[in-house]
């Protein structure tokens, strides 16, 4: 399958690329990239990043950065990207794609009335909301209108960005805030293609954590959701993501779920 947004000389950045959906995005997107494209994979787990690199086509220019996005500064992120770009800079590329995938589930033991620790809130939002917002700003500063580079921003969202579930206050609120940020970004930047993609229930460590915990406690609505949804493989959901990008039926900034027609 081809996608016009991945053809040609592309700079591709994927966060959370050491496992799960992030790894699959790197695997599925990489073979579609044109000659002389560059890939930058970011995650905390250096070993996991190398495993992802080993699954990508040989001959492709792939770079990794083992970074904790929750503590990274804009200056650090800019340096990491510019190091990959080298002296030729952003203008050497026809297209620039950033996939904001890195995320965490949060504490599933806390009801909303028990979520009273400012430090825990700060740490959760640092990774799940503030980091993608700052990284996106840095990316746009580098690949700005002046560069004439076609830009695509993909935020890996969730059904939980629009549907609340008990004991998932951190995750639901974080996903909602993150998605709204990218909706505002899309309005402000009409020359950038923005997609909030909800991948569905995918067979990842995060889903296993939710399933394990909710099976032990009385989270009836969450259990019902888990029971009624067919669990997808990472390959299935990323294949659907590529279809969405190819068809281009969405308005920039829209929330598109795996199950949307």
Question: Cβ(97)–Cβ(6) under 8 Å?
Answer: yes
Tens-place pLDDT, residues 62-105? 999 999 999 999 999 999 999 999 999 999 999 999 999 999 99
What distance in Å separates the CA atoms of residue 199 and residue 205, rounded to the nearest whole number? Answer: 14
Has residue 13 got a pLDDT over 90?
A: yes
Query: Sign of torsion, CA 125 127 129 133?
Result: positive
- The pLDDT, as a whole number, for residue 1 is 42
Residue 8 φ then ψ, to 5°: 85, -170
| Beta bridge partners of residue 5, listed in sequence order | none
Q: Which helix (H) or strand (E) holds 39?
A: strand 38-43
Structure tokens at 248: 């281009």
End-to-end CA distance of the chain: 18
What fold is seen in the domain 10-202+234-256? Rossmann fold (3.40.50)
Q: What angle do CA 132, 135, 141 make, to 5 degrees?
A: 140
Mean of the pLDDT values across residues 33-41? Answer: 97
Has residue 209 got a pLDDT over 90?
A: no
What distance in Å separates the CA atoms of residue 239 and residue 28, rounded to the nearest whole number? Answer: 8
pLDDT tier, 5 (very low <50, low <70, confident <90, very high otherwise):
confident
Has residue 213 got a pLDDT over 60?
A: no
Domains of the chain, residue spans: 10-202+234-256
- Closest Cα to residue 185, out of 147, 146, 134, 150? 134
Has residue 253 got a pLDDT over 60?
A: yes
pTM of the model: 0.92
pLDDT tier, 225 (very low <50, low <70, confident <90, very high otherwise):
low
Distances in whole angstroms, Cα of residue 102 to Cα of each of 22, 157, 175, 225: 7, 10, 11, 23
Residue 127 φ then ψ, to 5°: -80, -45
- The pLDDT, as a whole number, for residue 230 is 81
Mean pLDDT of the chain, nearest integer: 92
């Amino acid at each position: 399958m081809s996608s016009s947004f991945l053809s040609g000389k592309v700079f591709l950045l994927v966060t959370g690329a050491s496992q799960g959906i992030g790894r699959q995005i790197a695997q599925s997107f990489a073979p579609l990239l044109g000659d002389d494209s560059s890939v930058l994979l970011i995650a905390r787990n250096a070993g996991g990043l190398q495993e992802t690199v080993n699954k990508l086509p040989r001959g492709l220019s792939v770079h990794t950065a083992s970074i904790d996005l929750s503590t990274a500064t804009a200056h650090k992120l800019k340096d990491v990207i510019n190091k990959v770009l080298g002296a030729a800079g952003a203008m050497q590329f026809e297209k620039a794609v950033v996939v904001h995938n890195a995320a965490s589930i949060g504490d599933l033991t806390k009801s909303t009335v028990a979520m009273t620790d400012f430090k825990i809130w700060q740490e959760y939002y640092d990774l799940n909301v503030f980091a993608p917002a700052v990284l996106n700003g840095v990316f746009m500063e580098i690949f700005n209108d002046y560069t004439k580079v076609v830009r695509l921003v993909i935020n890996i969202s969730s059904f939980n960005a629009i549907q609340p579930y008990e004991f998932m206050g951190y995750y639901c609120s974080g996903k909602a805030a993150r998605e709204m940020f990218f909706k505002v970004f899309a309005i402000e930047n009409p020359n950038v293609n923005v997609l909030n993609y909800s991948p569905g229930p995918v067979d990842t460590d995060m889903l296993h954590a939710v399933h394990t915990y909710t099976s032990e406690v009385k989270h009836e609505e969450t259990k019902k959701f888990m029971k009624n949804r067919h669990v997808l493989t990472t390959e299935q959901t990323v294949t659907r993501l590529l279809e969405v990008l190819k068809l281009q039926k969405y308005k920039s900034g829209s929330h598109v779920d795996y199950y949307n027609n």
